[in-house]
Amino acid sequence: MNTLEYALKLQQIANILTAGDRQQPVRGGEVWLVGAGPGDVELLTLKALRAIQQADVVVFDRLVSPPVMALIPDEALRIDVGKSMRNHTLGQGEINQLLVDLAHSGHRVVRLKGGDPFVFGRGGEEMAHCQRYGVPCHIVPGITAAMGCAAASGIPLTHRDLAQSVRFVTGHGAQGEPDVDWSALASARQTLVFYMGITHSGHISQRLVAHGLPAATPVAVIERGTQPEQRVLTATLDSLAQIVAREKVKTPALLIVGEVVKMYRDAGPRRSGAADACVENHPQPSALALG
């Protein structure tokens, strides 16, 4: 793709954003729950980009990547409500009410979440709270971590010969260890994706083996998926905990369990985005110029 073709592509995107402004503008007194995807800024939807660039206030999570954060207008207020296992800036109830209060003050509020708002993102609770207090709440889906990390690693979540279903599972329960139906999860010919499961990886592997999955079932650990720092480790259920400890795996990371992991091939260091191969020799205008 030459410089002229790239400029035309940017103009097409700008035209789409302008059309979106007319169809469903971001107004004051509203909340937009926006999925930021798993990290790669190029995986944002155009609707997400438009909402971010029109925001007065952005209430964001810790898993939103720096390149996505860079799209927020300089004049917008940024409020960090990120939560980790032992450190909550605000409780969920306080976040819910914050969104309502900001909208009632007439602000265009974007609640920016890693992945998708409705996949382990507490988006349903925030939407319900806004609706309870009469605040219009719009949902902009994002590519969830399971889909993004699997694609970036070349691991299909379903495959005609290997897995006829896929399950997204929380790896962290209200009391710590996940409380799930392990017998159902131990079924053959399906793919399991555990979110927030690194801390309890040993417990997860033990329970799956105890309920019937072979100890040699392949597992992929994907750290910082879709981002330039992405790291993929492969293991089996019986070696998972040791590999997580030995390699000092850090969040954000997820686990993919199932025969589809055998299709992973190490392709070497990742590029920062799928479009790089087309435009690596041409300077790219700032994404902020699209608004």
Give the catalytic positions in this structure: 61, 83
- What is the distance between the alpha carbons of residues 263 and 256, in angstroms, rounded to a whole number? 12
Q: What is the largest CA-CA distance in the chain?
A: 59
What residues pair up with 173 in beta bridges, in sequence order?
A: 176
Closest C-alpha among 128, 162, 141, 134 to residue 261: 162
Q: At what angle do helices 92-104 and 123-132 cross, to 10 degrees?
A: 40
Given a contact cutoff of 8 angstroms between Cβ atoms, the answer to whether 37 and 142 are in contact is yes
Question: Mind spelling out the 3-state secondary structure of 61-110?
Answer: CCCCCHHHHCCCCCCCEEEECCEECCEECCCHHHHHHHHHHHHHCCCEEE
- What is the distance between the alpha carbons of residues 194 and 221, in angstroms, rounded to a whole number? 10
Tokens of 265: 């091939």
User: How buried is 39 (Cβ within 10 angstroms: 0-12 exposed, 13-18 middle, 19+ buried)?
Assistant: buried
What letter does residue 59 receive in the DSSP assignment? E
Question: Mind spelling out the 3-state secondary structure of 213-275?
Answer: CCCCCEEEEEECCCCCCCEEEEEEHHHHHHHHHHCCCCCCEEEEECHHHHHCCCCCCCCCCCC
